[in-house]
Amino acid sequence: MKAYTLIILSFFILSSCSSHKAQPPIPETDEKQIIFFSDEDNLRNESSYYDALLELRNKFPTEIANMKVISSEENRLYTKYQIEEYPSLLIIQQDKVLEKIEGNLDKDEIITPLENVLSSSTSSKK
């Protein structure tokens, strides 16, 4: 009976691992999107980014809630958006970079450009 249970359990585990076509991690939309590039090895440098995002959450709840966090393992996206420093934060719209913030910055140095871009209704490539 134990062997039968083990076989059934294995079947369920393996069936949940079925291969699906990979979805693009950043879907193209007309909405402004925040993408946060994180490095798990240097999380201490990211605290000012999280503080800034928490402060902006009340003013821009949808944008903050829909933020994508990209780990350092996503080399393709780091190359695509020319990310050279950790942490980095982008605001994109229709696959165009509206704002790029990189490196170890103070909370206010992060909030001001984010707020300016998220508040504006027009987009211009940086």
Give burial (CB, 10 Å; 0-12/13-18/19+) of 119: exposed
- Cis peptide leading into 24, omega within 30 of 0? no
**Amino acid 114: pLDDT:** 94
89-115: average pLDDT? 92
Domain boundary assignment for the chain: 31-119
Phi–psi pair at 89, nearest 5 degrees: -135, 130
Q: Give the integer Cα–Cα distance in Å for 62 and 66.
A: 6
Supply the pTM of this predicted model: 0.71
Whole-number average pLDDT of the chain: 78
Architecture of domain 31-119: 3-Layer(aba) Sandwich (3.40)
- How many C-beta atoms surround the C-beta of residue 95 within 10 A? 12
Decide if pLDDT at 87 tops 60.
yes
